[in-house]
Structure 1
Amino acid sequence: MTMRASGPFEVKLASQSAAPGIESAQLGRHTIDKRFSGDLEATSLGEMLSAGGNVQGSAGYVAIERVTGTLHDKRGSFVLQHTGTMNRGVPSLSISVVPDSGTEELAGISGSMQIQIEQGKHSYVFDYSLP
């Protein structure tokens, strides 16, 4: 059975230096530090790589973050994988749980998350299943 969790979150992105030897690739690199509230009471830490396109409003990013806390009162952690693009201002984003990344009471979790940003405030909708 698929469950739905939702709520607000706060995110801090911190720019990082390029990995040694790949500076000429001109990739953006950031650390991710999030605090989820609502049905998911958790923190997450992760990393993001991004690249801009040659046309204004075009870019892409990938990210991995480990989420640790409680989801509808079940404790544990899981990993989210992000793939996002902006095609001349039109966004596309996919965020899914990495298979078999769940721990403790969240072992076996699967699902996908949507992020909404309205007036600078972030929120999530997380559709997930547990065995």
Structure 2
Amino acid sequence: MKIRIKNNGLRYRLTRSEVAAFAREGIFQEKVHIGDDALTYVLQRTPGSLLSASFKNNIITVLVPETVANEWTGTDQVGFEHKTDALHLLVEKDFTCLDNVDEDQSDNYPNPLAASRS
């Protein structure tokens, strides 16, 4: 799972196997070690009705309503988002890049724009 933080925006991008694990388990998390500490970022299913986020004890948690999670993981839907004045949350399936990158993309979703660039 990739995380992007910019201004008041938080974006998670998940590969096919990560979306499948989230669908099965209801949670997916990653951790990045920075010096002597770590930042954990979590995507978690919730019975609540709104997409929301929290940050406590170096853990960013994005809570996804069950109905949204089920639709996203069970269909071709690319992503979902929620905007407030304070925060913009975006969760997406990770597509292969159209440009050459030094990154393993074998588990990414096929990019729908790739056919138009051939």
Could you state the TM-score of these two structures normalised by the residue count of structure 2?
0.33
Considering only CA atoms, is the larger Rg found in Structure 1 or Structure 2? 1
Structure having the higher helix fraction is 2
Higher relative contact order (CA 8 A, sep 6+): 2
Structure having the higher strand fraction is 1
Could you state the TM-score of these two structures normalised by the residue count of structure 1?
0.31
